[in-house]
Structure 1
């Protein structure tokens, strides 16, 4: 993996994945990126308990977005949040429709594609998701049939237009109740690693030889199991992961320093369409980074509530101390916004209800097929 991630845009054509380098050269994989969850999130849990005791409510962050169930903490519906921006949805949202896995799912999907003017490829994903679980890139009718059959009957799904732009970003935005303007707390650029065929080596060998993917082959080999013995022709690029999720193999670059007032103002104008939305992450695709930073020419894929992460911390150059510090700032802000909304009269769900919603999400996600 090179030190720079090249995206299709203007003067800032190659954005360094942080300026620092190790003594041995650019760092392509950090010791902290793939720590077990308990190691990464235990300090966050401790902080959560301390803040919950101080404020008298462990569910207070749910009031960051009080009109959304649990504030988007857990069990959030992607479709519900997007639908709050209007019907029909604005042009800056990737066209989507909901359907239910089961006997009628294929007919629902075909009708939705006709109604929305969608053609293959499209994206099929769970309406209630977590870290890219179950997200499928569907290239043709046969793939759609297989993808729908992989979900347990009754699961709520979304069928969505595949935005053709290579650029993908997650932007975490936050505004305190009553504040005249918000802040961009995080910008993450997402890059799907690729290998290039040489007409000699198998896909497995190419992955194992890749400077970054070869260090974490367990993220890619199972997903591509049916293709590992293929020999890609010379010059052919093979994308190793589709879902823009770090734990599934996408590469994240911290671009927070590039935040502009123009992008902030554009996001504020969009998110003001959701009543009492104060704290969360927007995932989007774009063709040109300079145009994105100017607040133009991007397409929203998802809007995530208070349970979303400021994912810039998974840049390979982020230190463990920076990871913990950033998570602590985001969490403290969620409690502060929730507390401000509580003073305005909003009431959060109890901790037992929150745990119930979390358990429901865990059960759902456990049954999803692997994401692409």
Structure 2
């Protein structure tokens, strides 16, 4: 089996051979995130406000920590930023047979056509993300969500490559900066005319270590034998926990890209901290700050995802996490001093519980 990368970023350390997984990549969340939670608590004690980071992006619910609407963030974009965002529309499911027709009507009214990407308006980690290329696929996707679910329907961006760009700008700074650039690659198996999909997954150095990320999504297709040379993409959603491969692209952060991202993000009122997920034409164009479209913009709950590059050490990962959360506390303190309010710990908890309940109701992502 071979991997077909969707991008070709330079390794974080070219002299160091890449291992299939880092030692901590798929640790249980409670193990990896416990030191980060403790750090957050320590910062909350220091600042006398455990919810202070929610003031970093004060116009977004909980600052984008949890429970926020994806489209509400994108709707804040001005004319400059709006030109870089892939067109989208919304609908709310009713649980009836009319939802498919409602989805088609919403697309028509927005001037959008299939294929589209359909996702929950409140969600995270790619849960529930669906690709619909035909009316039948659109109908099946919409029908999998429970009644009352707000959905975002977005034009499928034609670019093949995907990246996460982390952006920070303090309120007293005229310009922002990019602190992380991550390339997202979908693992692809290539048929040999003899092996089943399951056998190809098991034979690969990386996917063979985490087959549980792919097998439930593939269903009966795991028994298919792919013709020789035929590729099969194992996951659509560009999320590490769903099986995408992340590569550190820090070496491609250029002044031109930084200037363009800063111009876009300054056209979103009071946005200071978060990650921009985008698709791009080529690394060369991205370095020039061109040839990309934004999928979504995430707030203070987002990560600098380069930490999931298999070359990243545990120490480097925690250093990046602590550094970014320290920044969001600092920004929140400045916004609070300027008159904005943090959400409060109880509001954070309610939003988190609501989001968890919603995530549990969504179908498996594509």
Q: Which range, TM-score by smaller chain?
A: over 0.9
Distance in 2, matches of 1:144 and 1:155, equals 15
- Counterpart of 1:54 (choices 42, 46, 55) is 46
Q: Deviations over 1:145-183 (max 9, x none)?
A: 111111110010011111121110000000011202111
| 1:313 corresponds to 2:336 | no
- Counterpart of 1:122 (choices 93, 116, 121) is 116
Alpha carbons of structure 1 residues 2 and 334: separation in structure 2 relative to 1, 3 Å: farther
Partner of 1:142: 136
Distance in 2, matches of 1:288 and 1:172, equals 19
- Counterpart of 1:254 (choices 236, 248, 255) is 248
Q: How far is the alpha carbon of 1:18 from its aligned partner? A: 2.3
Partner of 1:36: 28
- Counterpart of 1:106 (choices 96, 100, 103) is 100
Superposed counterparts of 1:12-91, under 5 Å: 14-19=8-13, 25-86=17-78, 90-91=82-83
- Answer yes or no: is the 8 Å Cα contact 1:3–1:17 preserved in 2: no
- Answer yes or no: is the 8 Å Cα contact 2:192–2:229 preserved in 1: yes
Distance in 2, matches of 1:21 and 1:45, equals 34
| 1:303 corresponds to 2:285 | no
Partner of 1:11: none
Instruction: Calculate the aligned-residue CA RMSD, in Å.
Output: 1.8
- Answer yes or no: is the 8 Å Cα contact 2:88–2:154 preserved in 1: yes
Q: How far is the alpha carbon of 1:107 from its aligned partner? A: 2.1
| 1:348 corresponds to 2:342 | yes
Partner of 2:360: 366
Structure 2: 5+ residue stretches without partners: none
Partner of 1:96: 88
Distance in 1, matches of 2:238 and 2:57, equals 24
Q: How far is the alpha carbon of 1:120 from its aligned partner? A: 2.7
| 1:221 corresponds to 2:229 | no
Which range is displaced more, 206-215 or 70-79? 206-215
Q: What SS does structure 1 have at the residue aligned with 2:37?
A: helix
Q: Deviations over 1:310-343 (max 9, x none)?
A: 1000000101111111100000000000001111
Q: How far is the alpha carbon of 1:214 from its aligned partner? A: 1.1
Distance in 1, matches of 2:81 and 2:24, equals 39
Q: How far is the alpha carbon of 1:299 from its aligned partner? A: 0.3
Partner of 1:174: 168
- Answer yes or no: is the 8 Å Cα contact 1:3–1:26 preserved in 2: no
Q: What SS does structure 1 have at the residue aligned with 2:215?
A: coil
Q: Deviations over 1:7-33 (max 9, x none)?
A: 3xxxxxx323322566xx531212111
Distance in 2, matches of 1:260 and 1:118, equals 33
- Answer yes or no: is the 8 Å Cα contact 2:2–2:204 preserved in 1: no
Q: How far is the alpha carbon of 1:90 from its aligned partner? A: 2.8
Distance in 1, matches of 2:42 and 2:127, equals 31
- Answer yes or no: is the 8 Å Cα contact 2:6–2:184 preserved in 1: no
Alpha carbons of structure 1 residues 230 and 259: separation in structure 2 relative to 1, 3 Å: same
- Answer yes or no: is the 8 Å Cα contact 1:196–1:236 preserved in 2: yes
Q: How many residues align?
A: 364
Q: What SS does structure 2 have at the residue aligned with 1:252?
A: strand
Q: What SS does structure 2 have at the residue aligned with 1:273?
A: coil
Distance in 2, matches of 1:136 and 1:265, equals 32
- Answer yes or no: is the 8 Å Cα contact 2:190–2:232 preserved in 1: yes
Partner of 1:10: none
Structure 1: 5+ residue stretches without partners: 8-13
Which range is displaced more, 87-96 or 97-106? 87-96
